[in-house]
Structure 1
Amino acid sequence: MLCYSHSCHLLQPLLKTHKPLTITFSSQPKPPPRKRPTFDGDQSQRPITRNRHKRSYGASRRSILKTLKQEQVTFTTPVPDDPTVGIIGGGMAGLACALYLEKRGVRSTVFDTGVHGLGGRMGTRIVDPLPLVFDHAAQFFTVSVPRFAELIQGWVEQGLVREWQGTIGELEVGGHFVPLPSSPPRYIGVNGMRPIADSLLSQTHMINVERPTWISKLEPFNGTWYLSENGKPRGQFDAIVIAHNGKCANRLLGSSGLPLIAGQMKRLELSSVWALLAAFEDPLQIPGGDTFPFEGAFVKGVDSISWMANNTKKLLGSQSGGPHCWTFLSTAAYGKRNKVPQENIPTATKEKVTTGMLMGVEEALGLPKGSLQTPFYSRLQLWGAALPTNTPGIPCIFDPHGRAGICGDWLLGSNLESAAISGMALANHIADYFQSGGDHPEEFAVGLRNGFEPIKGHDIGQFPGLEPQSQTHAAPEMQLTT
């Protein structure tokens, strides 16, 4: 959540009539069993009890087409007694996957590119010395699945999240505001969204975090995955999880030996959204209004703006009499029309987009052109791979032959809840696969050929309960407990 092209055919098999070329790696003796980790808590967490009947032959790779198709990795070495998982991506999906692997007694390492913290699109920017505070990606979330509700209740008890009691609604061009019902409850991070992510792993014992790290290569060898960052080794793992998407994930998977997973990832379509953070000395106004009517609003009828929220009121309430910190998010159409490489935004584009979005704020509020006060601080950021526009509608994807999986909000929708449910589902699926010993991998293949359907929602994501049921795509509850 910053807040998909429909296909009725299954993904066509990559195999044609070519005789496969099998390459067998030289096998190494199986190392002595690694010591099982211990963990505290309820034994009903179902730690892995290994099936001891394993096959003993080595790892292999099968080449289908030597030049046009990448080889499919097929691991046949036994799953070790103490398997470890490498998770690439530290957003909500990756973190939930790590947490639920730990519940099943599985160790993992989370690799994340974040310089300031974990969380991916759960981004919060704090500008000292005032400070100025902005949620510059995910703005809030709702809860519709019991399993996610249980997780949120724990966050509430830990003081990580609370209900957002402020008024939100729809703002029609010209300053016409209509509040939305207060039900279902809306949740926000107590100190912004990012601290939720940073706090989730604070009391774990079987999760290692490496950041900022940008995994650039996956290499299979002798039943394990070797991960590296620009030639620097980053460890070896018995299974891997891809918990991010976009062009970087596509590059990573392009020569990994996971053609089915790579093919599904390439079918994902993503929107682009600009985020403008702006701090004003005085409150913004709607003409004719005695008091400002909202803390957050979905903007309708304005080309450049889809959402606006007063972070100061949302996060600090009446405690702050200082500057007013606003987050303005563009429409997906505006983001697409003005898209540039997000790592290096040209000055001219930055000025054009900032001006265009502030003019959109004027238009939404019904202010005369040029009358909006000038912000004393502003920062523009492009989320080039912001939100999914299509989905296979499944909790997770897993290739048991390559011992690799995918989790992310796009597999079920475009919100924080979808990301968390996806991570949980993949964690349990991998743990079940490990527990089986890998003897019947075909039984654990999930989502490798599912078709995609368009997803509908706000330009900043889906909020179950705040939009008509006909406008959402959600997997049945039975699918969410894989």
Structure 2
Amino acid sequence: MRKADPKSWWLQCERWHIGTPAGGSGVSGDLNLTTGPEPRPVAPLALTLVVCVSFEWRLRSVRLFWRLRESTLMAPGGPGGPLGGLQGPARPKQKAKGMSNRVSNRQQSSSSSSRKNRNSYSSSKCEKTWEYSSSLADGKARVAIIGGGISGLCCAQGLLERKVRCTVFDTGENGAGGRLATRRAGDPSHNGFTGEEVEGQCWDHACQWFTCDDPEFDSVVKEWSAKGIVREWEHDNAVGSLDAVLGTSAIGGGGSGQKWIGRRGMRDVAEDLLQSLREAHPASKGAFEVSRPAWVNKLKPREEGWEVFARGKTKGVFDMVVIAHNGKCANRLVKPTGAERTLRQLRSLKLSAIWALMVEFESTGTGQPPVLPSGLQACFVSNSDVISFVGNQSAKYGPSKSGTECFTLFSTEGFGRQHKVPQEAVPPAKAAEVRDLMLGALFAIPGVSRREVGPAWRAQLWGAALPTNALGEPFILEREKRIAVCGDWLTGSGVQDAALSGFALAAAIAEGIPSNAGLDAKLRPLAGVTPIGSFY
């Protein structure tokens, strides 16, 4: 070590920098050894002692200051802005104005008791908590909705009706909608099909229709119908059941009441709803935005709330985040947030894995009998290890220009798991194997007419398809973490449950509730649904 020359070297403490990193607090200091223009000779040993003692005492003082400051801010009665952090005195909490009227009669909310210790939820990666705003309807707050299925869109509609700004993030490349999914000729969704693209080809490859038996949801559906978002399926009396062993069939099933479908596919329900929200709340006014395709993969805590990242790029800071999807992607997104009780509920969800096979058959106009017996246009298949549902899509949307009929087949849950592969990159050989096995199982059913298979087909795996258990509460809300969840799996399965969940959560966020919700309930198996779950 080189000796300090008192005639040419000196120590100058140029500056101290004490900062609070985003999302936490800490101390950082730098002691700079610099050469100045005016030498001031000092005794090296004495100077070293003075600097060491001074540095030690100042560091202790700074640490004590930040500990006291942090403990004061984080105390239950300490200062905090209306959205948490260091933004002035907190707003007084208001008594809840009530849950949304749009809560299913079959499943009523039973919010859990409030938690006194607001620091009790933490993880190794994020221990951030905020004061929960009793009302976000002040025109300034922003809510991020991760998922553009029917639940996320209904949550957005409910928030916008209450003057709460929101942004919907959706991964769909062909359109929003989640399980309201359609592939058809004339748009990019047809990519991946074999054979020539023919006008009129259309396959709903997830939700086939939806029904309504809730008075509140019925009023919503009538509004959608008046706007042209949905329409009645005139052949809804052609839905039934088919025994794969005996070949017996019967009319009935698929939900009670009228069956509703989109204009040209179930995806249109989501797309038309989204368009109506855009028209009512133009982006120029800043109340409603849609980011698609956007794969949200990170949430970072900030003083104002959560910073949302999609594939590593920031999408802004939001006062609250709504998880409107499920499965492994949702679990990975929530895990680092410290919302451990929400994560536990998400991990308790059980989802079926299902293959959807989209094919086309020669039309009955060629003189051949219908594929399905007894006038069935769609049926739930029993006593088969391979297929669970068969639906004639052309009975909903008409035949293609070439005269072929488009059919969608769903596998059983067991077959889906047996042949499970990465759904984002299904090997062509596996897709062909699945096609042959599912068509073979269909044509082996007594009473089913074998048809010439057209050139257009595609096999798609839904690795996390339909819920097979439910929570029994319309939404999940972990107030201190500003994380909430909505979706059909919370009260059942299907479009109605998804929509009611979104509406109920929107009301709770905007109007304020006095406690957490859905964190302590236990998920139970769904009753009265098909083995793969319910898609209507």
- Does TM, normalized by the shorter one, top 0.5? yes
Q: How does 1:299-338 map to 2 (within 5 A)?
A: 299-316=381-398, 322-338=403-419
Cα distance in structure 1, aligned partners of 2:309 and 2:323: 14
Q: Per the alignment, in what secondary structure is the counterpart of residue 444 of structure 1?
A: coil
Structure 2 counterpart of 1:315, one-letter code: Y
8 Å CA contact retained: 2:122, 2:340: no
Q: Does 1:445 align with 2:516?
A: yes
> Structure 1 residues 276 and 290, CA, compared in 2 at 3 Å: closer, same or farther?
closer
* CA distance in 1 between partners of 2:494 and 2:357 (Å): 20
| RMSD, aligned α-carbons | 3.2
1:73 is aligned to 2:146: no
Structure 1, unaligned runs of 5 or more: 1-20, 32-44, 47-59, 434-440, 465-482
1:287–1:429 CA distance, 2 compared to 1 (3 A): same
Partners of 1:290 and 1:445 in 2: how far apart? 50
In structure 2, the residue corresponding to 1:159 is in which secondary structure? coil
The alpha carbon displacement at 1:332 in A equals 1.2
TM-score calculated relative to the size of structure 2: 0.70
The equivalent of 1:178 in structure 2 is 250
Instruction: Provide closer, same or farther for how the CA distance between residues 159 and 364 of structure 1 changes in structure 2, counting only shifts above 3 A.
Output: farther
The 8 Å contact of residues 61 and 73 in structure 1, kept in 2 or not, is answered as no
Q: Distance in 2 between matches of 1:265 and 1:193?
A: 26
Q: Structure 1's 305 and 255: CA in aligned 2 closer, same or farther, altered over 3 A?
A: same
Scaled by the length of structure 1, the TM-score of the pair is 0.77
- Deviation of the 1:172 alpha carbon: 1.6
The residue that corresponds to 2:509 in the other structure is 430
Correspondence for 2:428: 347
Please say which of residues 73-82 and 390-399 is displaced more in the overlay: 73-82
Identical positions, percent: 38
Give 1:155 deviation, angstroms. Answer: 1.5
Provide the C-alpha distance between the structure 2 equivalents of 1:66 and 1:261, rounded to a whole number of angstroms. 12
- Structure-2 residue corresponding to 1:393: 472
2:348 to 267, 271, 275: 267
Q: How does 1:25-104 map to 2 (within 5 A)?
A: 29=87, 62=119, 71-76=126-131, 81=138, 82-104=140-162
| 1:419 pairs with one of 460, 481, 498 | 498
- What whole-Å deviation, never above 9, does each CA across 1:442-468 have from its counterpart, x for those lacking one? x2310111111111311454378xxxx
- Counterparts of 1:290 and 1:134, CA distance in 2: 17
Equivalent runs, 1:137-286 vs 2, <5 Å: 137-166=206-235, 167-173=238-244, 175-180=247-252, 184-202=257-275, 203-205=279-281, 206-283=287-364
Q: Is the 8 A contact 2:123 2:340 kept in 1?
A: no
Q: The residue matched to 1:108 in structure 2 has which SS?
A: strand
Deviation string, structure 1 residues 325-356 (Cα, Å, up to 9, x no partner): 00111111111221111111123321221111
**Aligned twin of 1:130:** 198
1:423-481 CA-to-partner distances (Å, cap 9, x unmatched) read: 00000000112xxxxxxx7x2310111111111311454378xxxxxxxxxxxxxxxxx
| Residues 286 and 365, structure 1, Cα contact 8 Å, conserved in 2 | no
Q: Show structure 2 runs of 5+ residues with no match.
A: 1-69, 75-79, 90-99, 102-116, 187-196, 282-286
* Partner SS for 1:184: coil
Q: How many residues are aligned here?
A: 406
User: How far apart in 1 are the matches of 2:357 and 2:388?
Assistant: 12
Following the alignment from structure 1 to structure 2, what is the Cα–Cα distance between the partners of residues 99 and 342?
A: 31
Change (3 A) 1:290 1:168: closer
Q: 2:165 aligned with 1:107, yes or no?
A: yes
1:348-388 Cα offsets, whole Å, 9 max, x none, are: 321221111111111235458xx542331110100110011
1:358 and 2:439 correspond: yes
Q: Secondary structure at the match of 1:345?
A: coil
Q: Does 1:119 align with 2:177?
A: yes
Separation (CA, whole Å) in 2 of partners of 1:414 and 1:212: 25
